[in-house]
Amino acid sequence: MASIYDAIREDHARHRDLLNAIAETEGDSEKRRTLWNEFYYDVKSHAAAEEETFYSKLMATTDGQDDARHSVAEHKELDDIMEDLNETDFSSTGWLARFKTLKHDYEHHMEEEENEIFAKAQEVLDEEAITRHGEQFLARKRQERDLVDEKADDSLEE
């Protein structure tokens, strides 16, 4: 059984690898699109599952509320950049500049989560909850993966 921390760290390691691989691509290549799509869908489902199964639990505690809100706000900022990238020509210099911003901001977010948020969560979540939330995270992430396109379409209609 995976702890919530292990599950999130495993995703973060994959996301770091994908960010680095995307940074090495050029232009509107099939490789860039393939890596980007893998990153996009994994991060979108990761963030939604993380908010529902991890951050919601932290928000329910006085000590974890501010940190959880901060991280969820960062998720929104990162999501906005990802949507901008989806709408930008993959071969433009604007795409690459925006991607570099995403890479920097997301790497900062992951480091902050792993080094600060996890420490705070360990103060407010017991061992049983850590394992239970890890399993819930993995299950919810699988469900969210199928909802990424539907949610994007819904946000465009607003």
Containing structural domain, residue 66: 4-157
Alpha-carbon distance of 36 to 22, in angstroms, equals 7
Q: How many domains does the chain have?
A: 1
Are 54 and 8 in contact, with CB atoms under 8 Å apart? yes
- Decide: pTM greater than 0.85: yes
Is the pLDDT assigned to residue 154 strictly greater than 60?
no
Model confidence over 31-76: pLDDT tens digits? 999 999 999 999 999 999 999 999 998 898 888 889 999 999 999 9
Model confidence over 75-122: pLDDT tens digits? 999 999 999 999 999 999 999 999 999 999 999 999 999 999 999 898
Backbone angles phi, psi at 126, to 5 degrees: -85, 170
